[in-house]
Homo-oligomer: A and B are copies of this chain.
Amino acid sequence: MTGTLASPTELDLDSYRVQVEARLEAFLAGKGRAARSQAFPTRAVEELRSFFAAGGKRIRPLLCACGWHAAGGGPEPAGLVSAGAALEMFHAFALIHDDVMDRSDTRRGQPTVHRCMATEFTRTHPRAEVEQLGIGAAILIGDLALTWSDELLHAVGLDPDRLAAALSLIDEMRTEVMYGQYLDLTGSARLEARTDLPLTVIRYKTAKYTVERPLQLGATLAGADKRLLDDLSAFAIPLGEAFQLRDDLLGIFGDPGETGKSRLDDLREGKYTVLVALALAAADERQEADLRATLGNQAIGETDAERAREIMTATGAAEGVERMIGERYREALDALTAAALPAPADHALRTIAHAAAWRRS
């Protein structure tokens, strides 16, 4: 998706993305030097550098830049690059802690931070302690990322009143995504035939966090008024929902050669998605029993997964999710048209919207 996202016709988002990545790298290099000068271990810094080097779409910084241009803010200043880097650093925190909570083994094709650290501790600590130490270290590395995300924000500079408004938005965003994760964490033990819980999780964990707040942050730093923030929200929420619904479909039906991830993970984890809820709601007794036996079962193989896919297709659940994506995509574009943004921002957001809703990876 990165390639498509990063090359809209008129805004040079590719160059912005490179600057954000350079800012993260320079910031962490500084943290490494500071740690060495105080005789602190540099391992935490190195973990974060590897984490960023392993990939990521940088979608939140890119949307932050779009928000800036939507509000008519000229060429991106250095402060906007810091703001984008702060969003990406916050995202590292969120993923590292999520992976601890879910006890995930891989992220971006690499071992997760708590797995890396556990391996590291086998060299110095008793075998029986390394798993818990790895988790402890990953919690701390996440905490550092959250704190350093703040530090990047404090360095944004720009207009103090706009910065205060931006910090207030960021405070909202953080609380929302944490509540979303709380609901996701505590709700996943009970798979039900209702879409309200997964839709709430999508709203807070993806739509607001990934699309709405980054757009509004950029716009706020460029001095946007309430009306523009609302217009951006009307575009962002349905698009963010479409983005996550597509993610859920790709997790079950995607081509692993294109997505780069296994089609078994979401099933094994028993991920409570809208797709699952719709399938449970329309399943007959036999289908429901088969689906429940598959979801959350670590031992399933491709045959079980194929049966789950059959059920999701036969019940009309997959088609239902496709329909929801289409509705939300159109709703987002209508909102964009109504917003009548400056042409470069409008164009960039249309490109991003298309890629987000109809991507294959």
Which chain A residues have a beta carbon within 8 Å of chain B's beta carbons? 31, 35, 38-41, 44, 97, 100-101, 103, 121, 124-126, 129, 132-133, 135-137, 139-140, 143-144, 146-148, 150-151, 154, 160, 164, 167-168, 171, 174-175, 178-179, 181-183, 185-186, 189-190, 200
Contacts and interface: CB of A to CB of B under 8 A. Distances in A.
15 contacts: A40-B179, A41-B179, A41-B186, A121-B186, A124-B189, A124-B190, A126-B189, A133-B186, A133-B189, A137-B185, A146-B147, A147-B171, A148-B175, A150-B171, A154-B168
A185 B140 contact: yes
Nearest to A168: B154
Contacts of A186: 41, 121, 124-125, 133, 137
Given A147-B175, A175-B147, A39 B200 contact: yes
A132 to B, nearest CB: 7
B182 A137 contact: yes
A154 B169 CA distance: 11
A175 B144 contact: yes
A44 B167 CA distance: 22
Nearest to A38: B179
Contact of A139 (B139, B164, B175): B139
Contacts of A143: 97, 146, 178
B139 A100 contact: yes
A101 B136 contact: yes
Given A41-B186, A132-B103, A164-B154, A140 B171 contact: no
Contacts of A40: 179, 182-183
